[in-house]
Amino acid sequence: MSVLRLILVLIGLTMIVPEIATARRVLVTGSSQGHGLAFINDYAERGWTVIATTRTPATADRLNALADKFPNVAVEELDVTDFAEVDALAQKYANTPIDVLNLNGAINTFRVGRNIHGETDYALMEQVLRTNITGQLYVAEAFLEHVAASEQKTIAVMSAVGGSITNLRSSMAPSYRASKAGLNMLMRTYGEAVKGRGVIVAVIAPGTIDTENYMAIEDPATLSERDQRMVAANAYAPRHAIGKMIDLIDGLTLDDIGTFHKWDGTTLPW
Ligand SMILES: NC(=O)c1ccc[n+]([C@@H]2O[C@H](COP(=O)([O-])OP(=O)(O)OC[C@H]3O[C@@H](n4cnc5c(N)ncnc54)[C@H](OP(=O)(O)O)[C@@H]3O)[C@@H](O)[C@H]2O)c1
């Protein structure tokens, strides 16, 4: 094949599959279900190179199915509270630029138990704080060089609307809310610490996203009681909220690190 013909073929290929020329890399934690799984699907569909972490790859069936479907998805084991495991994964990917580090994996006590005042489960509270605050910073620091070496240089921190102190109207889920409010401050200070490297640390509240398309289900009676209530109250953010967050993350600059972002592009009070 002549050199000219080879060049024409390569140009043609990059036009058909633009990601060949531009593939960016994302690492998403806690990706076996919920938002994490939806992020993996949507990033993979967009042609990103995806590192999907989960505590339990052996049983992460839906995630493994995505990895079978998309050759650009790699599944890795990661528990953010296991610092040796975090270090080992950071080492495995040493010298690999990561454009977006999506700190998604966390314990949501709205899902795993009430943990209300007067009945506080302190062991659970400590686990929530270690997972949702301490482990998040540990991962961010362990992967700082990977992010700093990338084009996009973004750490996207999944917080929660429930972490806004200004907007608080309920005593529900205090340890979860405290973990997200604490995470917000920790990541604001971390953002100040690393902005000189050009690294954008942005705090985003995803909302409760309808990742399973429950709003479209024919027979809501087949859902759990909680999901039936959510559907009846029209309380889910739409499935496309995940894609909107990817767009939001892609548009972030260092000017955005002082803002508590909501998935839809609006701003929340801290
Ligand atoms: N859904 C909501 O209503 C909502 C609202 C606001 C904010 N958020 C935030 O959005 C993120 C995702 O929420 P979700 O609703 O998708 O939650 P989810 O369905 O409960 O899934 C959370 C994931 O976090 C991971 N995780 C838990 N402990 C971990 C640990 N020690 N190390 C690493 N990963 C851990 C688990 O992933 P693996 O099993 O794969 O390890 C789990 O699948 C969380 O940060 C959550 O706080 C959710």
For ligand 1, whether the C-beta of 173 sits within 6 Å is no
Residue 117 placed within a domain: yes
> 141, exposed or middle or buried, with CB in 10 Å at 0-12, 13-18, 19+?
middle
The answer, yes or no, to whether residue 265 has pLDDT greater than 70, is yes
**CB of 32 sitting under 6 A from ligand 1:** yes
Distance from residue 178's CA to the centre of ligand 1 (Å)? 16
* Cβ 246 under 6 angstroms from ligand 1: no
Residue where the block lists tokens 């592009």:
265
Confidence (pLDDT) at 7: 59
Helix, coil or strand: residue 240: coil
Q: Is residue 35 part of a domain?
A: yes
Choose the weakest-confidence range: 17-21, 26-30, 68-72, 80-84.
Answer: 17-21
Atom of ligand 1 nearest to the CA of 36: 16
> Measured from the CB, is residue 34 less than 6 Å from ligand 1?
yes
In a domain, 252, yes or no: yes
Instruction: Give the mean model confidence (pLDDT) for residues 235-257.
Output: 96
Distance of CA 129 to the CA centre of its chain: 18
SS3 20: helix
- Distance separating alpha carbons of residues 59 and 29, to the nearest angstrom: 16
In angstroms, rounded to a whole number, what is the distance separating the alpha carbons of residues 266 and 242?
A: 15
104 lines ligand 1 (CB under 6 A): yes
**Mean pLDDT calculated for residue range 108-126:** 83
Atom of ligand 1 nearest to the CA of 32: 40
Q: Does the residue 189 lie in any domain? A: yes
In angstroms and rounded to an integer, the radius of gyration of the C-alpha atoms of the chain is 20
Specify if 187 maps to a domain: yes
Q: Which pLDDT band holds residue 79 (cuts at 50, 70, 90)?
A: very high
Asked, for residue 146, whether it belongs to a domain, the answer is: yes
Ligand 1 centre distance from Cα of residue 29 (Å): 8
Q: Quote the ligand 1 centre to 63 CA distance (angstroms).
A: 14
The CATH number of the domain holding residue 48 is 3.40.50.720
Question: Does residue 111 lie in a domain region?
Answer: yes
DSSP string covering 187-199:
HHHHHHHHGGGT-
pLDDT higher than threshold 80 for residue 267: yes
Residues of the domain holding 181? 23-205+240-268
Look at the chain and report how many structural domains it folds into.
Answer: 1
* Residue 223 included in any domain: no
CA dihedral 101, 145, 24, 65 (to 10 degrees): -50
Phi, psi of 25, deg, nearest 5: -120, 135
Ligand 1 atom 7, closest CA: 160
Name the residue of 79, 104, 227 whose CB sits within 8 Å of the most ligand 1 atoms, as the mutation to test its pocket.
104
pLDDT of residue 4: 58
**3-state SS track over 99-157:** CEEEECCCCCHHHHCCCCCCCCCHHHHHHHHHHHHHHHHHHHHHCHHHHHCCCCCEEEE
Residue 109: pLDDT over 90: no
